[in-house]
Amino acid sequence: MFRDAERFTAHRPTQRKAAPAYQRESGSLAGSVYTALVHKARIVMPTLSENLILNRCPHCSVANPNLRRQYHLETNNHAANMRRFWGVYVCGTCGGVVTAWSIQQNQEVIEHFPISASVDEDIPERPKTFLKQAQESLHAPSGAVLLAASAVDAMLKQRGYAQGSLYARIEKAANDHVLTSEMASWAHAVRLDANDQRHADEAATLPSGEDAKRVLEFALALGEYLFVLPKRIERGIKGGGKGG
């Protein structure tokens, strides 16, 4: 592993070039992986250079993160046909580490880890908007907790639980077996966290970034359970079990 020699510069391209005509190494496994991923994702990836240009930090979700390369290294697989160049980047806001690889230095990144979270399109518009905003405000945990709780509230309303307090609606959804009892307990924890923030209770401790992630994780899991899985199953049945 090499310590990156280049010191910090504020250099950041204001506009990305069009994706370079990628020169695949013929017969290379890495080249095949590249082709498969590009066909699957159809997204423009950043290049493996001094700064990793992502829209948001995958850890704290800050917009236009300053992800600066700290280390780079070269790896290969046991058959010596998967040569990869890796960059290790650190977010200037949260200190989270993002790794990325390419087949050559300064070429298009094939994958980066962790990948940025996304909200499934099968979740109805209103809760989806709250979830996206919660993801984008993880660097401001109190706000993220409120938004994630609003998403839970909106999802329950969407399923017909519109009357009464959030507490009562969670209870009713659990009694109707729309939520499992474990999910209801988890939902109550989310609700309470949000109440602390909403009422700015001086006795309540402010949520950490980890607390906000935990609440968001629940809200996303609820979305999967209430909307995404049922739709996927419905499509599977219509497609005669051929997936989709």
**Smallest gap from residue 118 Cβ to Zn ion (A):** 17
The verdict on 140 binding Zn ion (CB under 5 A) reads: no
* Position 13, amino acid: P
Tokens of 92: 């200037």
The verdict on 138 binding Zn ion (CB under 5 A) reads: no
Candidates 2-10, 83-91, 185-193, 194-202 — which segment interacts with Zn ion by CB under 5 A?
A: 83-91
Beta bridge partners of 113: 99
**Smallest gap from residue 93 Cβ to Zn ion (A):** 5
C-beta closer to Zn ion: residue 48 or 57 = 57
- Binding Zn ion (rule: CB under 5 A), the pick from 30, 48, 51, 59 is 59
What is the distance between the terminal CA atoms of the chain, rounded to a whole angstrom?
42
The verdict on 219 binding Zn ion (CB under 5 A) reads: no
The verdict on 93 binding Zn ion (CB under 5 A) reads: yes
The verdict on 145 binding Zn ion (CB under 5 A) reads: no
Please enumerate in sequence order all residues whose Cβ is within 8 A of that of 180, keeping only pairs 6 or more positions apart, or say none: 174
The verdict on 103 binding Zn ion (CB under 5 A) reads: no
Answer whether 108's CB lies under 8 Å from 75's CB: no
- Name the H helices within the chain: 29-41, 125-136, 141-158, 166-175, 181-198, 209-223, 229-238
C-beta closer to Zn ion: residue 56 or 191 = 56
- Binding Zn ion (rule: CB under 5 A), the pick from 48, 91, 134, 212 is 91
Please enumerate in sequence order all residues whose Cβ is within 8 A of that of 40, keeping only pairs 6 or more positions apart, or say none: none
Residue given tokens 């993220």 in the structure block: 144
**Smallest gap from residue 42 Cβ to Zn ion (A):** 26
127 cis-preceded (ω within 30 degrees of 0):
no
The verdict on 212 binding Zn ion (CB under 5 A) reads: no
The verdict on 170 binding Zn ion (CB under 5 A) reads: no
- Binding Zn ion (rule: CB under 5 A), the pick from 48, 57, 183, 220 is 57
**Smallest gap from residue 141 Cβ to Zn ion (A):** 13
Tell how far CA 187 is from the center of its chain. Answer: 21
The verdict on 99 binding Zn ion (CB under 5 A) reads: no
Residue given tokens 């493996």 in the structure block: 48
- Binding Zn ion (rule: CB under 5 A), the pick from 60, 103, 146, 222 is 60
CA angle 100, 103, 105 (to 5 degrees): 75
The verdict on 92 binding Zn ion (CB under 5 A) reads: no
The Cα–Cα gap between 125 and 18 comes to 31
C-beta closer to Zn ion: residue 31 or 46 = 46
Helix (H, G, I), strand (E, B) or coil at 238: helix
Give the binding site for Zn ion (CB under 5 A).
57, 59-60, 91, 93-94, 96
